Amino acid sequence: MRTTKDVVVIGGGLAGLAAAAYLGRAGRSVALVEKAHAPGGRASTQESHGFSLNLGAHALYRGGAAHEVLRELGVRFTGAAPSPSGALALDRGALHTLPSGALSLLTTGLFPLAAKIEMGRVLGSLAATNPAPLAAVPVSAWLRDAFRTPEARRFVGALVRLSTYCADDDRQSAGAALAQVQLALSHGVLYLDGGWKTLVAGLRDAAVAAGVEILTGARAAQIAAEGGAVSAVELANGDRLGAGAVLVAASPRAAAALVPASAALAAHAERAVPVRAACLDVALSRLPRQRPGFVLGIDRPLYLSVHTGAARLAPAGGAVIHTAQYSPELAGGDPERELEDLLERAQPGYRGAIVERRFLPSLIVSNAVVTAEGGGPAGRPGARVPDLDGLFLAGDWVGPTGMLADASLTSARDAASAILSRRALDRAA
C-alpha cells in the first residue's frame, strides 16, 4: 500500500479536478489519479504553432451551472460571445441568413411566409415554455406536436442540436433539450481565450492549492472493497492507494470496469448511449473571408464556427475554425467529406491556409443522452452508488442538473458534498 487517503478521485477531467478541489478545501486528504500524461480529459486543448485547438468546438454556457462552480473555485478565464451577425443557415444546399431576431426573420430566405409567421411566435414562446412537463417526451414527438410547419420543426430541431450536440431526436428528452436551448438563448455562450485548457489549469491549481496530490500516467485498474465498503484503488502499475471513499469521475463503462461486482454500475453502463460528434478542426494562417463566421445546418446536422471571431486562439492574422457533424452514427454519409465541403463553402480556399488540420470521427461529447425514457435529467444516476458504501460518481452523465460541462461540474460539487456528509468519514476526520 503506497499511501492511504480520505478520498481517491479517479479521472482528472473537469469533474475530477473540481471535486478534488472541493474535498481538499474541506480538509480531506485527496489523491487524484489520471491515466493520461496530463489532466484535462475532454476539456484538453492542443497547442500547435501558436494555435489553441480545443477537442472539437467548445463553448461555455453563460449562466450555466459550470460557470457558478468555476466562480466558487476561483477559476479565472476570459473570452467573448460569438456575434450572431452574419451567421448563416445551410438548408438543402442553399445558404440563408440565420434568423436571430425580428429583422433577420423577416428578410431571411430560409422560410416561406407561413413559417415566418409561426417562427415569429415560436421564437418568443420558446423562452416561456415550461420544460418540466416535456421531460418524458422525445424531441421528435415534441417537434411534431408543438410546431405546425415543417420549416419551424426543422429550425427548432437545429437549435436543439446546436445547444445539446445531440441529433438523436427519438431518444433525447424534449424537456432537457428545451431547457438547454433556453439557457443558450437567454444567456448565450462564451468562447474562451486560450481554449478550455485555461479551465483545466485553473481547476488543477485550485486542487493543488487545496493539498490534492495529482498522479498522472496512473490508470486505476480496480476498486477494492472490504465488508461492503470501498477500501483501496489498485493502479495498473501495481500501486495500491488506500481510500476511505472513492469518486469515479470517468465514463459509465470505466466505472463499471472498476467494480465488476456492482450491478448498479453495470446497469448504468448498459443504459448509457453516448452523444457523439465527428469534428474537423482547422488552424489557418489567414481567414479567407471575414463572413460567415458561423453556419448552422438545418436539413443536415452540421455546425461551423470561426472561434477566433470571439476568442484569442491564434497568432496575429490566424484563425481557428471548428466544424462538427452531430450524431454521425445517425447522420449517415461521409462526415469528413461533408465537413470539408462545408468549410470550402463558407471559407473558399481555406485549404491553402491550413497550418493544422485534425479530423476526429467519433468524439464522445457527453457520456449519455438525457433520455425521454428515463424521464429527463432526473432519471440520471445520483452521486452515491447504492451497492457499495463509499463509492461515488461524477460526470456529464450523473445528477439532475444540466448537460455537458454544466452536468460534469455540478455533479462534481454534489459528489464532494455527499462524500463530506458521510458520517463514517466525518468520524475518521
Ligand X SMILES: Cc1cc2nc3c(=O)[nH]c(=O)nc-3n(C[C@H](O)[C@H](O)[C@H](O)COP(=O)(O)OP(=O)(O)OC[C@H]3O[C@@H](n4cnc5c(N)ncnc54)[C@H](O)[C@@H]3O)c2cc1C
Q: What does the binding site for ligand X look like in residue numbers (CB under 6 A)?
A: 10-16, 33-36, 41-43, 55-59, 61, 219-220, 249-250, 254, 277, 279, 363, 365, 395-396, 404-406, 408
Q: How far apart are CA 268 and CA 341, in angstroms?
A: 38
Q: How far is the CB of 423 from ligand X (least distance, A)?
A: 27
Euclidean distance between the first and the last CA atom of the chain, given in angstroms as a whole number: 20
Q: How far is the CB of 38 from ligand X (least distance, A)?
A: 9
Q: Which CB sits closer to ligand X, 35 or 153?
A: 35
Q: How far apart are CA 429 and CA 426, in angstroms?
A: 5
Q: How far is the CB of 83 from ligand X (least distance, A)?
A: 17
Q: Which CB sits closer to ligand X, 152 or 278?
A: 278
Q: Which CB sits closer to ligand X, 117 or 363?
A: 363
Contact (CB, 8 A) for 320 and 313: yes
Q: How far is the CB of 363 from ligand X (least distance, A)?
A: 4
Q: Which CB sits closer to ligand X, 137 or 250?
A: 250
Please name which of 183, 121, 131, 201 lies closest in space to residue 155, comparing C-alpha atoms: 121
Buried b (16+ CB within 10 A) or exposed e, 220-247: beebbbeeeebbbbebeeebbbbbbbbb
Provide φ and ψ at 141, rounded to 5°: -70, -40
Q: How far is the CB of 106 from ligand X (least distance, A)?
A: 30
DSSP-assigned states of every residue in 66-123? HHHHHHHTT----EEPPP-TT-EEEETTEEEEPP-SHHHHHH-SSS-HHHHHHHHHHH
Q: How far is the CB of 383 from ligand X (least distance, A)?
A: 13
Q: Which CB sits closer to ligand X, 257 or 353?
A: 257
Q: Which CB sits closer to ligand X, 59 or 284?
A: 59
Q: State which H helix or E strand residue 322 sits in.
A: strand 319-326
